[in-house]
Amino acid sequence: MSKKTKIACDDIWKLYGSNPREFFERHKRNPDDEAIRSEKYIPAVRGATFDVYEGEILVIMGLSGSGKSTLVRCLSRLIEPTWGKVEFDGIDLLQASEKELIDIRRHKMGMVFQHFALLPHRTVIQNIAFPLEVQGIDKDTREKKAREIIEIVGLQGRDNYYPRELSGGQQQRVGIGRSLAVEPDIWFLDEPFSALDPLIRKEMQDEFIRLQSMLGKTIVFITHDFDEAIKLADRIAIMYEGMIVQLGTAEELISNPATDYVAEFTRDIPRAKLLSVRSIMDPPPPVPAADRLSVHADESVQKIARDVLAQELDANVVDDRDEIVGTLQRQRLLNALFEQ
């Protein structure tokens, strides 16, 4: 599987304090906890290095104050990083002039905000058409486009409402619509559903999945909610005190946590739903018993558990071509189900 890199981040740092750049250079571009603390700098992002692949949903996940919002703002240069390199489609973002940057934002980036950040004096359609308006696109064209988007985000009939007249979920639909108006290559979502009620949040997550299946954007999604991350992510980056402590699929994080912190995070997650049979299987016996139950290697543990446990025997694990690639022991299955 060839993955094309959309955004490449190399060693991004963001320090707050009196003279961060000088401080950073003085400590050989890698200041430690001790130095940061003693000189009263606040480390928001520390040495973040990662790639975002085209068409994937990368979720950056961490508790409040972990630096995830700052990191995403460094990617869009809403915040000027202290150090590092952000390459977007091969362009060095941090070297871009204000004019180039405006151009990139007008055509290639979209962003959704936690508290919607709608302009209160504009109607739904005017808010959604706003990014087109500032490009100087004429009214008819931009409103036609905005209407299409209103359709997509499910706000038909609300065109001329003001944000104040909408519910929170509807307001965020407008926020999403606005960020999609320019058909961006990369889509930043900063805790887009965190300000919503749980029921609405779930509805919006499903809506988001539906949208992404239509659009197939490259997405950087920020959240503090691990369940949300698992539900939406292709890959998850876990941040702690400004550092990315682990980056991988949900399954990798659960089955192989890099630090105690990640382990702590993933402890209460229903693993059976996420673990694949492959991750808990053993090598096949030299002579496989053909009469045993067969399960697919990429099936989730939860899905096959009932069938396997109904039998008295272990199960065969097969791949797409029905070849036996492993064996699933009942005891391993039980351990996985009861999280040991």
Partner 1 sequence: MRLQKTLLVLAPFSLLLIVKPWLPGWAVTPPKSCLAGCADIDGMIPFVDWVNAAITFLRKYEFFGAFTFRDITRGMSDVIKSMLDFTEGLLHEGFPDLGIGTIPWIALVGLAAIYGWYLRGWKLALLGGGCFFYLALFSKRGIWELSMQTLSAIAVSAPIAGLIGILVGILAAKRKTAERIIWPILNVLQSLPHFSYLIIVAIFFGVGSKAGVIATIIFAFPPMARLTMVGLQNIRPEVLEAGIMSGCTRRQMLFKVELPSARNELMLGVNQIIMQCLAMVVIASFIGQSGLGHDLLTRLQRLAIGQALEVGIAVVFIAIALDRFSQAIAHKEPIHAPEGPLWKRRPFLTAAAGFVAAVLVLSFVTPYIAKFPEHLTISTSTFWDGIVDSITLHFYAPLAVFRDAFLVYFLIPVKSAITWIPWIAVIALVASLGWRLGGWKLALTVCAFVFFIAASGYWIRAMITVYMVLVSLLICAAFGIPIGIWASRRDWSTRLMQNLCDTFQTFPSFIYLLPVVMLFQINDVSAIFAIIIYASIPIVRYTIFGLRNVPQEIIEAATTSGCTRNQVLWKVRMPMAFPEIILGLNQTLMFGLFMVMIAGFIGTVDLSQEIFRALTFNDGGKGLVIGLCVSFIGLTADRLLVAWSDRQKREYGLA
Q: Which residue among 19, 30, 141, 160 contacts partner 1 (CB under 8 A)?
A: 160
Binding status of residue 115 toward partner 1 by CB under 8 A = yes
Q: Is 144 in the site for partner 1 (CB under 8 A)?
A: no
Q: Which of 187, 232, 236, 180 is nearest to 60 (CA)?
A: 236
By the 10 Å C-beta count (0-12 exposed, 13-18 middle, 19+ buried), 10 is classed as middle
The reply on whether position 45 binds partner 1 by CB under 8 A is: no
Using a CB cutoff of 8 Å and minimum separation of 24, what contacts does 208-213 make?
208/176, 208/232, 211/152, 211/153, 211/176, 212/57
Secondary structure of residue 194 in the 3-state scheme: coil
Please say which residue, 119 or 309, places its beta carbon nearer to partner 1. 119
C-beta closer to partner 1: residue 67 or 257: 67
Contact call for residue 201 and partner 1 (CB under 8 A): no
Select the residue interacting with partner 1 from 43, 131, 169, 192 (CB under 8 A).
131
Told to check if 91 binds partner 1 by CB under 8 A, we report no
Closest by alpha carbon to 238, among 218, 219, 264? 264
**Residue 109 interacts with partner 1 (CB under 8 A): yes or no:** yes
Distance of CA 318 to CAs 6, 289, 330, Å?
35, 13, 16
Cβ of residue 210: shortest distance to partner 1, in angstroms? 24
Instruction: Candidates 53-61, 114-122, 226-234, 235-243: pick the segment binding partner 1 (CB under 8 A).
Output: 114-122
Q: What is the DSSP string of 35-97?
A: HHHHTT-EEEEEEEEEEEETT-EEEEE--TTSSHHHHHHHHTTSS--SEEEEEETTEEGGG--
Instruction: Note whether 123 binds partner 1 by CB under 8 A.
Output: yes
CA distances from 102 to 12, 98, 99, 134, 231 (A): 22, 6, 5, 10, 33
135 binds partner 1 (CB under 8 A): yes
283 binds partner 1 (CB under 8 A): no
Interface segment toward partner 1; rule CB under 8 A; list 33-41, 53-61, 155-163, 242-250: 155-163
- Point out which span in 131-139, 203-211, 298-306, 329-337 binds partner 1 (CB under 8 A): 131-139
Report the distance separating Cα 243 and Cα 126, nearest Å: 39
Q: Please count the residues of this chain forming the interface with partner 1, following the rule CB under 8 A.
A: 37
Q: Which of 20, 31, 62, 110 binds partner 1 (CB under 8 A)?
A: 110
Nearest to 109 by CA among 219, 206, 235, 34: 219
Is 53 one of the binding residues for partner 1 (CB under 8 A)? Answer: no
Find the largest Cα–Cα distance for the chain.
Answer: 73
Find the binder of partner 1 among 23, 53, 130, 261 (CB under 8 A).
130
Give the up-direction half-sphere exposure of residue 203: CA atoms within 13 A in the CB hemisphere: 12
Nearer to partner 1, 134 or 313 (CB): 134
Which residue lies nearer to partner 1 by CB, 133 or 143?
133
Residues that bind partner 1 (CB under 8 A): 73, 76, 78, 102-103, 105-107, 109-111, 113-123, 130-131, 133-135, 160-162, 164-165, 175, 178-179, 182, 188
